[in-house]
Amino acid sequence: MIRRRKKSLDEVSFQLTPMIDMTFLLLIFFMVTQKITEQELSVPIRLPIAATAASPEKTQRDVINIDGEGNYYIGDRAASKDEVLAHLRVKFRDFPPLQIYLRADQKTPTKKIREFVEMATEVGAIDLIFGVHEN
């Protein structure tokens, strides 16, 4: 005589450990990205004042800074014109459509701003936001 065992139903339970792990990973991710965002805006630049300034929508964009002497910065790292152009090409290839937030000092030569706009156009940027302070 062969006995058949009745299959016991295992209790279905909710595993909390993976949820906690994921929460910590998200927390670390947001802490790191916040630090990067603060670094991008840490270059000492006096933005021009505009009477009709409006805050841009919160979307992911690349931050380029130009100081009063016309020096480029990718985030907070000094860069040459060729480095900025190469950086924009990589960004456009990896994350199209490219949106750029340009922070230029009040004393930045107009020639440098125009040069940057031409570089952005060359790589295919569709959205160029100029940083200003509201009047």
Torsion of CA 73, 113, 100, 85, to 10 degrees: -60
Predicted pLDDT at 38: 53
pLDDT 10s digits, 20-48: 888 888 888 777 766 555 555 667 777 77
On whether the CB atoms of residues 119 and 81 are closer than 8 A, the answer is: yes
Locate the domains of the chain by residue range: 26-134
CATH of 26-134, one of 3.30.1490.110, 3.40.50.300, 3.40.50.720, 3.30.420.270: 3.30.420.270
Chain length of the chain: 135
For residues 61 and 131, the model is more confident at 131
User: Is 50's pLDDT higher than 90?
Assistant: no
Question: Which of 23-37, 48-62, 114-128 is most confident?
Answer: 114-128
Q: What is the pTM of this model?
A: 0.63
